[in-house]
Amino acid sequence: MGSPGTVRLLSALREGTLDEIRPVLDIETGTVTYPDADEYLDDYDGDTFEVLETLSERDLLHREFQEKQYICPRCESKGMQYTTACPSCESPNTIRTDSYRHPECGYEGMREQFVGENAVVCPNCETELDSLKHLESDAAHVCEDCGDVFEKPVNRLRCRDCHHVADPLQTIERVLYRYFLSEDGATWVDEQLAARQALAEAFEDRKLRTEIDSTVTDASDEEVPVHVYARDDLLNDHVIGAVYERPDGDDISALRTLASGAGARATLVTTSGTIVGNDAGTLLTDGDLTVLRLTGDGTLEREYEVVEGTHPNNSFVGRLADIFKPQNG
């Protein structure tokens, strides 16, 4: 939560660069994408749909129903195609036609059974008729595989990849939405941007070359997006700044691992002023990790709270002595 990509996305909605996030369905493949969101998110953010749903669950995005998508229960391919099938053998190879009934003898059959080369004749009683109009008719379907004739086919979904035919109730249903920025989302992204800007200015005051929404190279030589990256190449002093609303132990561990692999110090800013989980306290003793909180007036302070779970009353106040420790290498 609060990755550079999500901040980038919600900022675009906040600024009006992006009005909404709409799903796009590929009719041929059944694939659903969110190209508007993909433009702003990073690969590190993961599946776009899951990101949007997470933001919606946090009430940062408001969603409206757009359509439904069905996923194959056999191969999990997305975008199954609607079809009809034979109720006897489940084959979709059916043809819609008409069935006819001779009212005199009660014989029922298909059109081709009554229509000969030169006349319309009942194959049962051999009565010759002037036309098909003298027969009672109803819509019918014929299965080309098992030969069964039936009044109505059954509704089915057919996988475009493995061709599995399934009852709609047996498939995986996914509801697709359009997404809009909520009031909470606007407040959230404003706080995120304010924290990043305040952190960048603090780095710049210490004569560090600073970049907002940048990348760093981790221990695996992969480029990882970060909120703020500051450095003094001459003194070999590098700092990675991360902004979270309510960071927990996993967030702290990930930041420390990234900073260690990149040969940098780490600074964490909590916009809520809290860190979740007493176990996170054991991770805050690293001399290369600084924790700050964003105040109501947009400044940074060294005071923060560690809260147990979602209960801020069970907390203690933690203070770290130095905001930035000069480090020479």
Q: What is the pLDDT of residues 42-82, one digit of tens each?
A: 999 999 999 999 999 999 999 999 888 888 999 988 888 88
Query: What residues contact 163, with CB distance under 8 A and at least 6 apart?
Result: none
Greater model confidence, 327 or 51: 51
Query: Cα(302)–Cα(294) distance, rounded to whole angstroms?
Result: 9
pLDDT at 207 over 90: yes
Tell me the per-residue pLDDT of 91-146, one tens digit each, with 9 for 90 and over: 999 988 877 778 878 787 776 777 777 788 888 887 778 677 777 777 788 898 99
**Farthest CA pair distance, the chain:** 108
Task: Confirm if 321 and 284 have CB atoms less than 8 A apart.
Answer: no
Residue with tokens 């952190």, as numbered in its chain: 199
How much is the pTM?
Answer: 0.70
Query: Cα(203)–Cα(45) distance, rounded to whole angstroms?
Result: 26
**In the chain, what are the domains?**
4-77+170-180 (no CATH), 81-158 (no CATH), 184-319 (3.40.1350.10)
* Residues, the chain: 329
pLDDT at 322 over 50: no
Q: Three-class SS of residue 165?
A: strand
At residue 315 the predicted structure's pLDDT band, cuts being 50, 70 and 90, is very low
At residue 316 the predicted structure's pLDDT band, cuts being 50, 70 and 90, is very low
Output the pLDDT for position 1: 53
Local structure of residue 26 (DSSP, 8 states): -
What the block records as the tokens of 293 is: 């909180």
Mean pLDDT of the residues in the chain: 86
pLDDT at 323 over 50: no
Measured over the CA atoms of residue 42, residue 46, residue 50 and residue 53, the dihedral's sign is negative
Q: Which of 303, 268, 304 is nearest to 289 (CA)?
A: 268
Residue with tokens 């609303």, as numbered in its chain: 245
